[in-house]
């Protein structure tokens, strides 16, 4: 039986994805036995990030500023907008170096069973962006949702919205396996998928 503080620490580690009771226990004991300084640094970084990091007003990724560095950059092509499910998917594409446009991060995918509909994904915000008529208007929407059942349903919904807004739509092509997730795909495969994208 653990003391209340140790039990609380173990339980706190369990909020991380893929961390079960044994792994959480191992992490807690490692911090207490061998790396108290690292644990204190982790606690400070978590507290700071939770207090200061929020969503970019333009693309919805995580940032400390009102607008993230990619959205604020004058060197990015605002006429190409890539739709991804998560910030980690966005970073996977950025690391490939193939895409120089801007992003819109859904922070998930359509999943009615879990209560995630268009509103939760910011699709009303995306539609307003697609309807803008000013300079830098989106000319091409590149859908890069994960090739899962939910990702495909989300892509179809966005495709229909883009067509109503008279915006060209393309979808990442070859190289991405069905059921795979972008954050685990190597940059060469991602590059090929971007180069071979096609209009849908």
Task: Using a pLDDT cut of 90, give the percent of the chain over it.
Answer: 76
Q: What's the pLDDT tens digit per position in 118-144?
A: 999 999 999 999 998 877 789 999 999
The percent of residues in the chain predicted with pLDDT above 70, rounded, is 96
- Could you report the per-residue pLDDT of 164-193, keeping only the tens digit for each? 999 999 988 656 676 778 888 878 778 767
Which residue segments constitute the domains of the chain, with CATH numbers given?
A: 4-52 (1.10.8.420), 62-199 (3.40.1360.10)
Task: Give the CA distances from residue 101 to residues 1, 43, 83, 115, in Å, rounded to whole numbers and listed in that order.
Answer: 54, 35, 11, 31
This prediction has a pTM of: 0.80
Dihedral of alpha carbons 66, 72, 76, 78, sign = positive
> What's the burial of 10, exposed, middle or buried (CB within 10 Å: 0-12/13-18/19+)?
buried
Q: What is the DSSP string of 84-127?
A: ESSHHHHHHHHHHT---EEEEE-SS--BGGGTB-TTTTTHHHHH
């Amino acid at each position: 039986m653990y003391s209340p503080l140790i039990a609380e620490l173990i339980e706190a580690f369990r909020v991380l994805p893929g961390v079960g009771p044994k792994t959480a226990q191992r992490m807690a004991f490692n911090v207490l036995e061998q790396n108290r300084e690292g644990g204190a640094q982790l606690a400070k970084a978590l507290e700071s990030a939770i207090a200061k990091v929020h969503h970019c007003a333009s693309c919805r990724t995580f940032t400390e500023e009102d607008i993230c560095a990619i959205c604020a950059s004058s060197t990015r092509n605002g006429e190409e907008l890539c739709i991804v499910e998560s910030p980690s998917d966005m970073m996977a594409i950025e690391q490939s170096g193939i895409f120089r446009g801007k992003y819109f991060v859904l922070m998930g995918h359509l999943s009615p069973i879990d209560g995630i509909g268009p509103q939760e994904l910011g699709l009303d915000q995306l539609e307003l962006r697609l309807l803008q008529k000013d300079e830098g208007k989106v000319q091409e929407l590149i859908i890069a949702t994960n090739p899962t059942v939910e990702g495909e349903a989300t892509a179809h919904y966005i495709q229909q919205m883009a067509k109503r807004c008279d915006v060209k739509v393309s979808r990442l092509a070859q190289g991405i396996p069905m059921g795979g997730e972008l954050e685990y795909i190597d940059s060469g495969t991602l590059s090929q998928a971007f180069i071979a994208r096609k209009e849908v």
